[in-house]
Amino acid sequence: MAPLRQAISLMRRIDVILVRPLRPGNIGAAARAMKNLGAGQLVLVAPCDHLAPEAHQLAYGAQERLTRAAVAPTLAEAAASYRCVIGTTARAHRGYGPADLVSSVRRTLLARLRRGRIAVVFGSEQNGLTNEEIALCHRLVRLPMAVPAPSYNLAQAVLLTLYELFTAAQEPLPASARLTAPSHELERMYAEWAALLTAIGFLKGSQGLRTMADLRRILNRADLAEREVRVLRGILRQTLWRQAHPQPVPAAQLRPDQVRQPRRTRDERGKQTD
């Protein structure tokens, strides 16, 4: 396949999720960038008025992206069906490690497209993504900057990120990535991990939040398949059930020093002293 045709085919499978965008103009400019670079669906989470005149003006030539945009109340709902959710951030989030430069992981991300659509998530102009929203992302990426502040404008970030992916999509791709579990299955598993670790007293306070962030990072790196998630969830549910319904350990499985000896009667004690 010719490089440009390959890029066009791949970019259609990349959806953009804008979380709590504050300015209609940024939504419109992002929609225009998406059309320029051939990206797929525009998804908006709790947006401002994305059909305002300002949005239409800055989406010149791509107004249909605004009218066809999907709208969801939360990122969890917007990202539920994706097997790969990429979060963009300009700052470090404790527990999740440093974000990778888009240019350093773009080919790896594109390999996932052979197995399904991916979502690239951008946070609000004011505060970016919350820690809870970062937790829903399977990988974090960033754009290079000469100075740490100010961060890129939202529409600029969308344009630069998609441009990196578009240029990489014209190159020979690495081997296809394995088919991973969808986001909603992973989130159910993480909820069960949190329930179990809380029940045994392992998760406590703010340290518990960091522990769950570490656990998410470890398991997200594994690119778990659906069957692997089902196995882990089965183990977690059974462990939770057993923790809530303890049973006495059979005497045959106890060490001699753990076995409680029956109390002797007065007659038995008397015989022992004769």
Q: Which of 38-52, 132-146, 206-220, 230-244 has the highest mean pLDDT?
A: 38-52
**223, 177 in Cβ contact below 8 A?**
yes
Work out the average pLDDT over 61-84.
95
Question: Would you tell me how many other CB atoms lie within 10 Å of the CB of residue 218?
Answer: 9
Side chain identity at residue 199, one-letter code = A
Taken in order of first residue, the domains within the chain and their CATH numbers are: 3-168 (3.40.1280.10), 183-244 (1.10.8.590)
Strand partners, 106: none
pLDDT at 91: 77
Query: Which tens digits make up the pLDDT trace of 116-131?
Result: 899 999 999 988 999 8
**9, 117 in Cβ contact below 8 A?**
no
Q: How would you write 157-222 as a 3-class SS string? A: HHHHHHHHHHHHCCCCCCCCCCCCCCHHHHHHHHHHHHHHHHHCCCCCHHHHHHHHHHHHHHHHHC
Would the pTM of this model clear 0.75, i.e. be above it?
yes
Q: Which residues fall within 8 angstroms of residue 139, CB to CB, at 6 or more apart?
A: 84, 85, 86, 87, 100, 105, 109, 220
At 108, the pLDDT band (50, 70, 90 cuts) reads confident
Burial of 262 (0-12, 13-18, 19+ CB in 10 A): exposed
